[in-house]
Amino acid sequence: MGDEEVIDASRTDGATAPGYAPHPYIGGRTAALRALAAWRMSWPGAPRVIALTGAPGTGRGRLLTGFLMLCDPEFRTRLPLDELDPATVPPDLPAPAVPRPDGLTAAQLLWTVADHFELAATRTADIFTELGAREEPVTLVVPDVAAAGPVRAAGEPARLVREVLAPLAAVPTVQLLAVVPRELAAELTAGLPQGQAQIIDLDAPEWADPDGLVAHAATALDPARGAPALPFTTGPRPREALAGALAARAAGSHLTVELAVRSALLAPEGFDPAATERLPATVGQAVDLHARRLGADPGLLRLLLAPLALAEGDGLPLPLWGALASAVAERDLSRELAEGMLLTAPFVDPVEAPSDAEDGADGADGRTLIRIAHPALAAEIRDGLPDARGAQTRIAMKLLEAVPGQDWSRADPYVRDHLAGHTLDAGLLPQLLTDPGLFVHADPVVLRAAVEAVPLQELGAPARTYLRTAPLLTRTQATPALRAAFLETAFVEDGLAPYAQALHGLGLTLPWRTLWSLPPAGATAVTAGVLPGGPVPVPVAVSRVPAATPGARPLPGGDGAFVVHTLTDGIPLDAAPEQVVRPSEEERAASPFGLSRGGGYVRVWDRGTQEVVAAVITDTPVLGADLSADGVLLIATERGVTARRILTAPPTAPAQPGPAGVPSSPGPAGGRA
């Protein structure tokens, strides 16, 4: 609708009528804005839960952005509220919580909600309980659910709806508005009492907004809004005529209008606004008509866009674009891409990537990535590929070739973090999951999401070890060196010693080497000592276990049983626990290392410098821990008993006894798994 058009608040169909000015950002969608405003003010009869949906490209995000402008106390001051339809303006309330799901797992988004409301929950189930116990309702707005998940093929949007949004919607104190794909809208609202939920489908006639689509086109063509001065943009009448024609052809699709306008503005030569039959009716036609107008094969344009449509994360590094386009096409397209920037320009956007600081140090400046203009455009390109899985396979192989000497520490961040997503989509991920270097250097959040999407029976032993360790890696936000250390122990625990050894060959400084691991046997305590006799006393580990444990020796008096193993290699010894000599308190105090422990961590610190030299964080409670004089750390958890040799060299001379513990938190700060 044009600026001179206004809306009548007495109408219920959202049509334009004299009386009020349009929303300055949306320019329409009055019926939907009224429904959303009623939801925000909890108007009698208004739903508590709204699923905002529609076909991709119909303007769901634009509508939500315009509505949130009205909900933000600071932004409201910039809007002409007195000129707008009062039924579209919610009251001046605190801004709702707006946790963005972009790239997040369902668990990450849920803990984001918990953090926002400062909940004391330690389990996901407790989050819903705590929200339900609140006296005052909480208001949540979740934008584009389709953008959830670090890996596209892992199906995170559906998981987010089932595991987070639907349970939140069932909490009576939660007022929820979520933008969801149409196939998930009914699932979000299912089971709620009648009147508590509403689906707003922007493609349905009652929510359609043809005038708003015209306004969108007119605004995009307006030189006052940044469009170049062209014959069909400078004059109001040609501009309005073209806007009306574009909207009439686009059948409600804001994305089709947007792409058509981009095409005309970026390559105006040969564009005839009077030839309305050459205006696109669909997103796919916008691509094909642009190519034909530039004298190019539409199939070539689609091949050039294919790597961006198949890309993961925030976008594709520019240097990789040509190589991957050639891989998809199975022929060299480097010249076509170099000469075809005008051909691809309407359909791509640059985005600045964040700095890459893998090890926690300052990284290089951010670099420019290229991404496709809209997810619906990406879906159109993917759907048009004759063999999408084959294209992903060729992309994955090309990315794998780009790892210098198969050294993942030197790989491009995109290759390192997103190769798993491409191989998952190609059905090849299990074959990739045999490289310890990938496990260590890939973003654990992304790699975990990809591995979890593979049926467990299809994973090899190393991948299963990674999968069970991944929650620890993501929870602690571990550096690559610490990831390697955690995985090294996990591989030893699972009987995969060659993989553990390989981690020591990656050039990382690991804090320990895991010597051995005993399977779970109910050990509740562990002690380092020596077994005298023979020419040299034998260092041993003594574990307290249930009396029924095979090979255990009972204590005199029946107070439990013990097993004894050599300290350095875990060989069982036929020795009574009373034969073992344990170090005295004076000997412990004179040792170079000290030990502190908590419920889920053990720390080893240098008595001379008071610095922590090794921090072991566990995914099960620590039941017992001890440290030998020469730096072998014993830990008992529900997973069994492990022995780790601390690799930091001890001081040359004993230092003064240090504190009984290191007063610090149980583990590094980080997001929950």
- Mean pLDDT (whole number) for 164-178: 97
- 316 vs 522, more confident: 316
Helix/strand/coil for 555 = coil
pLDDT at 662: 30
CA-CA distance, 592 to 233, in Å (whole number)? 78
Strands 640-646 and 632-637: antiparallel
Instruction: With a cut of 90, say whether residue 506 has pLDDT above it.
Output: yes
Contact (Cβ atoms closer than 8 angstroms) between residue 543 and residue 526: yes
**Cβ neighbours of 70 (radius 10 Å):** 22
Bridge-based pairing state of the strands 538-545 and 49-53: unpaired
Residue 242 near residue 232 (C-beta atoms within 8 A):
yes
What are the extents of the domains in the chain? 30-201, 210-281, 514-646
Which residue pairs from 460-466 have beta carbons closer than 8 angstroms and sit at least 24 positions apart in sequence?
Answer: 460/430, 460/433, 460/434, 461/494, 461/496, 462/433, 462/434, 462/436, 462/491, 462/496, 462/499, 463/430, 463/433, 463/434, 464/494, 465/490, 465/491, 465/494, 465/496, 465/499, 466/433, 466/439, 466/490
Q: Is the pLDDT of residue 347 over 60?
A: yes
Q: What is the pLDDT of residues 268-325, one digit of tens each?
A: 998 999 999 999 999 999 999 999 999 999 999 999 999 999 999 999 999 999 999 9
Q: Which residue has the higher pLDDT, 590 or 353?
A: 590
pLDDT at 122: 87
Residue 518, pLDDT score = 93
Residues 607 and 594: beta-carbon distance below 8 Å: yes
Tokens of residue 518, six digits: 């005993």
Tokens of 14: 């959202």
Find tokens 């609202």 and name the residue. Answer: 189
Q: Which residues contact 496 (CB under 8 A, 6 or more apart)?
A: 461, 462, 465
User: Could you identify the residue written with the tokens 């639907």?
Assistant: 166
- Residue found under tokens 């020419």: 535
Per-residue confidence (pLDDT) for residue 368, from 0 to 100: 86
- The topology (CATH level 3) of 30-201 is Rossmann fold (3.40.50)
Contact between 512 and 635 (Cβ < 8 Å): no
pLDDT for 364 beyond 50: no
Query: How many other C-beta atoms can be found within 10 angstroms of the C-beta atom of residue 467?
Result: 17
How many C-beta atoms surround the C-beta of residue 262 within 10 A? Answer: 18
Measured torsion, CA atoms of residues 313, 315, 319, 322, in degrees rounded to the nearest 10: 110
Closest CA to 417 of 480, 481, 504, 485: 480
Distance (Å, whole) CA 531 – CA 143? 64
- State mean pLDDT over 109-137: 94
- The first and second tokens of residue 56, run together, are 């991709």
Q: Are strands 553-554 and 561-566 parallel, antiparallel or unpaired?
A: antiparallel
Give the chain's largest Cα–Cα span: 104
More confident residue, 13 or 256: 256
pLDDT at 605: 92
Mean pLDDT, rounded, of the chain: 89
Reading phi first (left if > 0) and then psi (alpha if -120 to 50, else beta), residue 375 is in: alpha
Number of other residues whose CB lies within 10 A of the CB of residue 668: 15
pLDDT score at 354: 66
pLDDT tens for each residue of 560-618: 899 999 999 999 998 888 889 998 888 888 888 999 998 899 999 998 889 999 999 99
Confidence of residue 356 (pLDDT cuts 50, 70, 90): low
At residue 624, what are phi and psi to the nearest 5 degrees?
-170, 150
Q: Is the pLDDT of residue 361 over 60?
A: no
Cα torsion 194, 198, 203, 206 to 10°: value is 70
pLDDT one-digit tens code per residue, 249-258 = 998 899 999 9
Separation between Cα atoms, residue 140 and residue 127, nearest integer Å: 14
Judge whether residue 196 has pLDDT over 60: yes
Highest mean pLDDT range out of 175-189, 357-371, 573-587? 175-189
Place of tokens 């790892």: 403
Q: In sequence order, what are the residues at sequence separation of 6 or more whose Cβ sits closer than 8 angstroms to the Cβ of residue 557?
A: none
Does the pLDDT of residue 3 top 70, yes or no? Answer: no
Dig out the tokens for 306 from the structure. 């294919």
Q: Give pTM, 2 decimals.
A: 0.87
Quickly list DSSP for 434-466: T-HHHHHHS-HHHHHHHHHTS-GGGS-HHHHHH
Q: What Rg do the C-alpha atoms of the chain give, in angstroms?
A: 31
Q: Is the pLDDT of residue 671 over 50?
A: no
Strand partners, 643: 516, 634
% of the chain surpassing 90 pLDDT: 76
* Mean pLDDT on 139-158: 96
- Give me the count of residues in the chain: 673
Residue 658: pLDDT above 70?
no
- The pLDDT value recorded for residue 21 is 85
Please enumerate in sequence order all residues whose Cβ is within 8 A of that of 421, keeping only pairs 6 or more positions apart, or say none: 150, 151, 152, 153, 154, 312, 313, 446, 450
- Contact, 490 vs 468, CB < 8 A? yes
pLDDT in tens, 16-50: 445 788 888 887 889 999 999 999 999 999 999 99
Alpha helices, DSSP H, located in 333-428: 334-339, 341-344, 375-384, 388-401, 413-426
> What pLDDT, on the 0 to 100 scale, is given for residue 12?
36
Find residue 528's DSSP bridge partners. Answer: 541
Asked whether the predicted pLDDT for residue 7 surpasses 70, the reply is: no
